[in-house]
Amino acid sequence: MSSFKKRVPASQPKPPPATRVNPHSAQLLVSTGVPALDDVLGGGLPVGGVLLIEQDRQTGYSNTLLSYFASQAIAAGHKLCIVNADRDVNLASQLPGWAGVSRSATEPGTGTGTETEQGDTSEKLEIAWRYQNLPRVDGRDADAQGRSEPSAGSSAATAVDTPYCEKFDLSMRIPQGVIDRASVEIVDGDAISRAMASTESSDGDMYKCVLDKISALINDGFSSLKPLPPNAERNILRIELRSLGSGFWRGSDPNAILMFLHGLRGLLRYSYAACVISFPAYLYEEAGVRLPIVRRIEHLCDAVIELESFEGSNTTPSSIVAQQIKGEAAAASQEYHGFLHIHKLPRLNSLTASMGRLSLLHTGGGSANNLAFRLRRKKFSIETYHLPIEGGVTERRVPAKEETKTSRLPSGAGCGSTPGRKDPLEF
């Protein structure tokens, strides 16, 4: 018997609830609330990272992703901060509820509610037998991994208190009582104006005022540089910045948004916080060409995706697809609502993005990874886009009976037949 024994820390820190560790980069991940988007990002949004969502011109699909992110924060028991300078925030009418009737009325993060599969019965497809055993990109696999028991002495174990990604239903809403009990802080335009009036150092810069607010939230128990009190557990701070850079945001400098993102990125790197930003990139265009500042904004974020809907875009690819999906013959193609473009993927603690090894939808690039999104009645999904069948799915592939009869040879023209008599070989 060997006298050597593996050294295990006596008091190993418990990971925050509803988190997961990336096996390739050892980076702590949180879910965006959309399993397909987590798959595209390589497992989820890294803690300490910034996800930039470039909004579409005329649609609000980016708000749907933000509502998923906020609902996941409430379901996991995370701290949620929403900054919106454009309009008032009414969470009771915007956030999707948990799938299942009894689940929506339970406490967030308990994982004891019953979930029904009513939303999936209408979406079952008949596929080939060789594809039936492939893993599905939905909330089921994430929930199963989130509820797995952690191994002894493993710091990469997933928290078992709450599932990593809940399953949400867009046709439902989170009850107001659950929202009131959750840790949510909303910073709207009026709150920013009051903070600017009470602080002389802001100099009328909304970006600086919001950055000071985020810095105060991070220092209040979410900074990785400060030790926690005894018997205290780590939690995650989720930050939503809606329509950053729109006309409602006022800065003291033309490059105020760049300085804000640079400071925000530095704060998040040493914190247990994750940030999602929606950015109206179409406002930074001249004659259909984006300004160079958009590229600099993308460089200051860790992950950048763009939602390009078919009805709200003027670019050439979507115009071509819009022409192909007109008419009754393309009813199946009209289920897609737009393209999902990936401009940048997170690379925290790694030189290469891990989505090529972990993602099922996106494998690194090329024409085989054309992603599209669709907004159904109950969920928002991201799938690989396929062009419709040439001529449409309702095209007649079998000739009609009239055409078949007229195309036959006249009676009596067969082999061994006599004109004017019935051919004995004709059936």
Burial class (CB in 10 A: 0-12, 13-18, 19+), 356: middle
Residue pLDDT, tens place only, 155-210: 333 444 578 999 999 989 998 889 999 999 999 888 888 888 887 766 778 999 99
CA gap 303, 268 in Å, rounded: 14
- Matching residue, tokens 């925290």: 348
pLDDT one-digit tens code per residue, 42-76: 889 999 999 999 998 877 899 999 999 999 999 99
CA distance 9 to 7: 7
More confident: 401 or 66: 66
In whole angstroms, give the CA distance from residue 239 to residue 276.
6
- Confidence tier at 251 by pLDDT (50, 70, 90): confident
Confidence of residue 103 (pLDDT cuts 50, 70, 90): very low
From the CA atom positions of the chain, what is the Rg in Å?
Answer: 27
- Asked whether residue 254 carries a pLDDT value surpassing 80, the answer given is yes
- Paired tokens of 230: 């005894």
Would you state the pLDDT for residue 134? 54
Q: Which residues of 367-395 are buried (b: 16+ CB within 10 A; e: fewer)?
A: eeebbbbbbeebbbbbbebeebeeebeee
* pLDDT confidence of residue 327: 46
C-alpha triplet 200, 205, 210: angle, nearest 5°: 95
Q: Is the pLDDT of residue 22 over 80?
A: yes
Per residue in 266-308, pLDDT (tens digit) is 999 999 999 999 999 999 999 889 999 999 999 999 999 999 8
Residue 234 has pLDDT above 50, yes or no: yes
Superfamily per CATH, domain 20-109+135-392: P-loop containing nucleotide triphosphate hydrolases (3.40.50.300)
pLDDT of residue 365: 52
Model pLDDT, residue 160: 45
The vertex-278 CA angle with 275 and 279, nearest 5°, equals: 125
Beta-carbon count within 10 A of 217 CB? 20
What does the domain layout of the chain look like in residue ranges?
Answer: 20-109+135-392
Q: For residue 104, is pLDDT > 50?
A: no
Tens-digit pLDDT profile for residues 211-220: 999 999 999 9
Tokens representing 187 are 């910073």
The structure's pTM equals 0.75
Higher pLDDT pick, 394 / 67: 67
The one-letter amino acid at 334? Q
Angle between helix axes 206-219 and 256-269 (nearest 10 degrees) is: 10
Tokens 């061994």 sit at which residue? 416
Q: Read out DSSP for 35-101? A: HHHHHHTTSSEETT-EEEEEPPSS--HHHHHHHHHHHHHHHHT-EEEEEESSS---GGGTSEEESST
pLDDT at 400: 53
**How far lies 123's CA from each of 173, 248, 403, in Å?**
21, 41, 38
Helix H or strand E segment including 12:
none
| pLDDT score at 42 | 87
Residue 396 has pLDDT above 70, yes or no: no
Neighbours of 406 (CB within 10 A): 9
pLDDT at 193: 85
The mean predicted confidence, pLDDT, of the chain is: 75
